[in-house]
DNA sequence: TTGTAAGCGTTATCAT
DNA sequence: ATGATAACGCTTACAA
């Protein structure tokens, strides 16, 4: 680690440690002359303050923990990228953790973060009640917690996400408008958001007087390997196809399922959009490179990241007792980007 | 932060702080009886040691810094995912930074990491000499640095990457074997790896007695937005097409260029693989969902991550002077995954 | 087996 | 404007 300490500088300059500290921190109490001398000496000897000592004294680390399900989805990667940029802009660093959509990993990650000492935590929980007790305890006793992305969670704190019901409704409506009414909903099993996205789907069908068919809802186990997910998708799709219900559209409620679906359909020689239209949640940057260019429900990740981070910083810097604060839930607008996969002429 | 301190426990149990510390750390000096009592009390009062104090005392943070160019490429995301898993398995946490392929950001990130106090740094530098002085200084004076992915860099330390010359050679060879000999090389401008990957391409052409045509090397400025990259790609490709040189294959030397290329070709109505075959570097998990399924040069990210991390931990835990160590450069094997984009029947 | 005391490198308080 | 001193919460010789 760094070699010369503040004490050492004090000795060498025949000044006291406190004077050095103040000089380096530009205190008004110190004369310009002394400041100049001290700073120059520090620079020459490549002084780097020991952050740990500072943090111990100040009681904060300037680190915030970010706990995401899995960085390997473009959506999560975008979130992390923007969170990082916002954090840096505010002189905070990000300690990154992923839960891999497993409650046990999530618990471990949370323990690590608190034992490690972070000033606050941003989390997209595995599901609607995962580690609720632990997270509540951390929020009360350790450091503030802000929820993002997966915000349907019974914790009294700031939450930033999207209106899942509404955006799924709108996407479903797009399909209906191009006269595709036999719509499959592709869902992640045991995922918090599934419930709400399905509700939007149901509501749209109802409003357009389209009968619900439970066989049209496909659940895929999400915590498996990608290969297994492909297999399950293939099975479900071909079963559906053979059963004679002849769906003509699919709405994918998660990014992974939506993007993998395209590969599965290609290998089954099912044509998109001719045989079946596809729209789905995804923030993938190369939607145009997919087969075919994918119509997506796009989430405003940059805004989600900066808003969530700002709210967390507010909590970190707030003097108020955490029970005195009135917490907000912010729902951001999504946008629907139509491309070839729903282009029905 | 946590409420009860070790001192406090000592007071309440009428023992000394050192006894408590030893008891909690299972020291052989402490009687079982006392240990039991102390631990039980600690548990009941939800004692959490202050990590900062501990780290100050011990002089290490158990954090390592990871500095990647940009998390929004599937390859980087994979690396980070596996780095995280390896780190957790070794009780280390990851502080994540990205350089966005800008030297200035890289410098800032490095400064932050050292000021922040990390036990070691893993970095994929922006280019072959970016921040060389700073990184050398950090490696010598602050904490060990290990290079990965982009390892052609004049720093004496462990390096983990792939053999870019060889793997590009093999990919080019695949194209030649299916009789596509007028091959465009698509390169990132001012990117460290470009040089070596091009060398592999050149060597393959030479070995198969195919004349090199400089017009077949396309450079795209990498530090731009994706839209701009698409534009530039479109221009370059259509110019090439019009000029009558009629290429029949493209090799993409970076993931971003390769994947975006597919979108551009689709919009130009150029058929892959009929009109032109495509192969390129990419670790994208849904290569099968691309238009068409993309033949890729796949890098062993999991191995790269765990190897790099292990080497870094070795350096962190090594008692030796850093100049006494003989550093290794490890080149991992890539694999070529052929899919439809090079399937010429 | 347990306790005492020093110290890690800062910053903050209060004198001078 | 500068300095002395205490403190942050823990670990670790060394003493008892």
Q: Is the pLDDT of residue B309 over 90?
A: yes
Is B51 in contact with A116 (Cβ distance < 8 A)? yes
The predicted structure's pLDDT at residue B243: 81
Residue B15 beta carbon within 7 A of nucleic strand C: yes
Q: Decide: B136 and B323 in contact? Cβ < 8 Å.
A: no
Q: Are B121 and B153 found together in one domain? A: yes
* Contact partners, residue B326, CB within 8 Å, separation at least 6: none
Mean pLDDT of chain A: 93
Of A56, A72, A259, the CB nearest to B289: A259
Identify which of A36, A112, A37, A25 has the alpha carbon closest to the alpha carbon of residue A67: A112
Residue B116 beta carbon within 7 A of nucleic strand C: no
Q: Are B184 and B294 found together in one domain? A: yes
The predicted structure's pLDDT at residue A2: 53
Q: Give tens-digit pLDDT for B44-70.
A: 888 888 888 888 888 888 999 999 999
* Contact partners, residue A252, CB within 8 Å, separation at least 6: A186, A258, A261, A278, A279, A280, A281, A282
Residue B52 beta carbon within 7 A of nucleic strand C: no
The predicted structure's pLDDT at residue A1: 44
Residue in A closest to B2 by C-alpha:
A142
Q: Are A290 and A309 found together in one domain? A: no
Q: Are B250 and B316 found together in one domain? A: no
Q: Are B317 and B229 found together in one domain? A: no
B50, closest nucleotide (Cα–C1'): D9
Residue A27 beta carbon within 7 A of nucleic strand C: no
Q: Gap from A313 CA to D1 C1', in Å?
A: 36
Beta strand A93-98 with B93-98: parallel, antiparallel or unpaired? antiparallel
**Assigned domain for B1 exists:** no
Q: Are A247 and A142 found together in one domain? A: no
Q: Are B173 and B287 found together in one domain? A: yes
**Assigned domain for A179 exists:** yes
**Assigned domain for A269 exists:** yes
pLDDT, average across residues B246-255: 94
* CB count in 10 Å sphere of residue B231: 14
Q: Is the pLDDT of residue A125 over 50?
A: yes
- How many beta-carbon contacts under 8 Å exist across A and B? 161
**Assigned domain for A172 exists:** yes
Beta strand A249-252 with A217-221: parallel, antiparallel or unpaired? unpaired
Q: Are B148 and B78 found together in one domain? A: yes
Q: Are A270 and A307 found together in one domain? A: no
The predicted structure's pLDDT at residue B256: 94
Indicate the pLDDT class of residue A309, thresholds 50, 70 and 90: very high
* Contact partners, residue A174, CB within 8 Å, separation at least 6: A279, A295, A336, A338, A342
**Assigned domain for A107 exists:** yes
Show residues of chain A in contact with B278, CB under 8 Å: none
Q: Are A101 and A200 found together in one domain? A: no
Paired tokens of A36: 């100049």
The predicted structure's pLDDT at residue B340: 97
CATH of the domain at B142: 3.40.50.2300
Is A52 in contact with B50 (Cβ distance < 8 A)? no
Show residues of chain A in contact with B102, CB under 8 Å: none
pLDDT, average across residues B162-190: 95
Q: Gap from B115 CA to C16 C1', in Å?
A: 34
**Assigned domain for A75 exists:** yes
Can you list the positions of beta strands (E) in chain B? 63-68, 93-98, 120-123, 145-148, 159-162, 183-189, 217-221, 249-252, 277-281, 295-298, 329-332, 335-337
Percentage of chain A with pLDDT > 90? 74
Paired tokens of B105: 């950001």
The predicted structure's pLDDT at residue A319: 77
The predicted structure's pLDDT at residue B344: 82
Burial class (CB in 10 A: 0-12, 13-18, 19+), B294: buried
Is B108 in contact with A116 (Cβ distance < 8 A)? no
The predicted structure's pLDDT at residue B117: 85
Identify which of B342, B262, B291 has the alpha carbon closest to the alpha carbon of residue A262: B291
Burial class (CB in 10 A: 0-12, 13-18, 19+), B56: buried
The predicted structure's pLDDT at residue A233: 97
- Residues comprising chain A, all counted: 345
The predicted structure's pLDDT at residue B1: 43
Indicate the pLDDT class of residue A122, thresholds 50, 70 and 90: very high
Indicate the pLDDT class of residue B241, thresholds 50, 70 and 90: confident
Q: Is the pLDDT of residue A324 over 90?
A: no
Q: Give the mutation candidate from B77, B252, B262 for the A interface (greatest A CB count, under 10 A).
A: B77
Domain of A266, in residue numbers: 164-300+336-342
Q: Decide: A9 and A43 in contact? Cβ < 8 Å.
A: no
**What pTM, to 2 d.p., does this model score?**
0.92
CA distance B120 to B66: 9
Beta strand B249-252 with B295-298: parallel, antiparallel or unpaired? unpaired
- Residues comprising chain B, all counted: 345
Q: Are A290 and A305 found together in one domain? A: no
* Contact partners, residue B192, CB within 8 Å, separation at least 6: B125, B126, B127, B128, B150, B152, B153
**Assigned domain for B306 exists:** yes
Q: How many domains does chain A have?
A: 3
CA distance B64 to B145: 10
The predicted structure's pLDDT at residue B97: 96
The predicted structure's pLDDT at residue B2: 53
**Assigned domain for A1 exists:** no
Can you list the positions of beta strands (E) in B51-123? 63-68, 93-98, 120-123
Q: Is the pLDDT of residue A261 over 80?
A: yes
Show residues of chain A in contact with B293, CB under 8 Å: 263, 266, 291
Q: Is the pLDDT of residue A321 over 90?
A: no
Q: Are A171 and A296 found together in one domain? A: yes
The alpha carbon of residue A209 is apart from the nearest alpha carbon of chain B, in Å, by: 33
């Amino acid at each position: 680690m760094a070699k010369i300490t503040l004490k050492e500088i004090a000795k060498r300059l025949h000044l006291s440690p406190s004077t050095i500290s103040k000089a380096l921190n530009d205190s008004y109490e110190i004369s310009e002359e002394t400041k100049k001398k001290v700073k120059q000496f520090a620079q020459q000897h490549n002084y780097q303050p020991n952050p740990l000592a500072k943090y111990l004294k100040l009681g904060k680390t300037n680190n915030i923990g970010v706990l995401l399900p899995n960085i390997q989805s473009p959506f999560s990667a975008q979130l992390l990228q923007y969170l990082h940029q916002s954090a840096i802009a505010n002189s905070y660093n990000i300690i990154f953790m992923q839960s891999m959509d497993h409650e046990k990993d999530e618990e471990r990650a949370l323990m690590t973060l608190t034992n490690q000492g972070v000033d606050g935590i941003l989390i997209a929980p595995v599901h609607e009640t995962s580690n609720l007790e632990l997270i509540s305890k951390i929020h009360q006793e350790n450091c503030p917690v802000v929820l993002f992305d997966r915000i349907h969670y019974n914790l009294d704190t700031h939450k930033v996400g999207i209106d899942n019901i509404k955006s799924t409704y709108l996407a479903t409506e797009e399909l209906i408008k191009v006269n595709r009414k036999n719509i499959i909903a592709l869902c992640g099993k045991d995922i918090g958001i599934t419930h709400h996205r399905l509700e939007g789907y149901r509501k749209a069908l109802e409003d357009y007087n389209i009968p619900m068919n439970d066989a049209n809802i496909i659940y895929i186990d999400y915590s498996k390997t990608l290969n297994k997910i492909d297999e399950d998708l293939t099975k479900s799709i071909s079963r559906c196809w053979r059963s004679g219900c002849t769906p003509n559209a699919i709405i994918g409620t998660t990014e992974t399922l939506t993007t993998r679906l395209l590969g599965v359909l290609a290998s089954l020689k099912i044509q998109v959009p001719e045989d079946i239209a596809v729209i789905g949640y995804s923030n993938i940057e190369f939607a145009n490179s997919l087969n075919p260019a994918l119509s997506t429900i796009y989430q405003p990740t940059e805004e989600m990241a900066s808003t969530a981070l700002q709210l967390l910083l507010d909590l970190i810097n707030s003097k108020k007792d955490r029970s005195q604060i009135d917490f907000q839930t912010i729902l951001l607008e999504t946008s629907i980007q139509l491309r070839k996969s729903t282009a029905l002429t």
